[in-house]
Structure 1
Amino acid sequence: MTLALDEILLVLLSREPASAYDLQRRHTQIFDSHRPVELGRVQAAVNRLERSGYLYVDTVTPLAKGYQNRPACALTVSGRRRQRSWLADVPEGASIEEFYVRGVLAVASADRETFDAFLRSSLTVIRQRQQGLADPAPDSPPALHAKVAFEQQMTGALLAWLQLLPGQRGHRADILPAPTTYP
């Protein structure tokens, strides 16, 4: 499943307003060049999110002097709700990739409450997944044994990684400014 850029941008806006250019730069800082995103795609997503009422674009006041072509984008109340919901409500069928992206974003950008909700939801999903991974019958095809063994190992590794995430945050949430939201 391809993760929606819209959701990622909402999380990147959770702490402070940013221009489309700044959002692209934040995306690159978090995901390196492994998941590049072009500025045109970011701008298209910003336009969609604005039309949907999830963010506000201030075309009057630029973020920095001399950057009139970089209007500030900020979450609206409904955008903040959507951002929190996306991070906190991890679906049962989430892929390893989805856990990774949500987890990295939660560490980098989420407030403590949203991070904790993400972690609780993720751990619940992974533990349920682990319980459902019973060993196949001895006479099952070798490929099924290999598949189940792979899933057991991946699920165990993901659980261990999720349990390490609180330590990755340190006290970052305590030193960041309060989030900015527009009506």
Structure 2
Amino acid sequence: MIDIAKEYRVALPAWIDDELADVPAVLPGVEDRMRLVHRLADRNWREGNGGPFAALVAERASGRIVSVGVNVVLATGISSAHAEVLALGLAQTAAGGWDLGGEGLPTHELVVNWRPCVQCYGAALWSGVRGLVVAGEGPELEQITTFDEGPLRTDWAEQFEARGIEVVHDVLREEALAVFRGYRKAVDEGDIVVYNARGGDA
């Protein structure tokens, strides 16, 4: 019999409870939601869990926070354990199914501190969310952090819109860049591991 692993576990870090202790259950403004995402992203890399990335899923109309996610690639050893994947998976668990746009459910949106990477692009596209809110897009993330976000199409936002997912751009963009710059400073000082695709290396 072949002896193989049969499951793996991805969970939020324990410090999330402390970070959310003073956060109300409802954040009615999109900037308030993004501020929380930036706060989680900044703490996440400082705690050593993974990259400076966070996300949340909210009910768009009410602002009720359904789930949050942070990047836990380093903490788990799982390369797909990105913030959006955690936030969406936990929201789907709470909703009781894979389709966050299903009948009888409120309209959900995903709030992220930059345009999704190629993996999270697909995860968001198929999740059932009806809105995507990003702090920014463009080359700055990769230039600052040195992460490889993958070969995403230039019309990525239009592809969301074509599928009924409204995209809101540039919400607290400078705050996102400030988190990335703080992360890069730590990388340059040798305190942080930047995980990436091998880029063709053996």
Q: When the two structures are superposed, what TM-score results if normalisation uses the length of structure 2?
A: 0.28
In terms of Rg, which structure is larger?
Answer: 1
**Bigger relative contact order, structure 1 or 2 (CA pairs below 8 A, ≥6 apart):** 1
- Structure with the higher fraction of residues in helix conformation: 1
TM-score by length of 1: 0.29
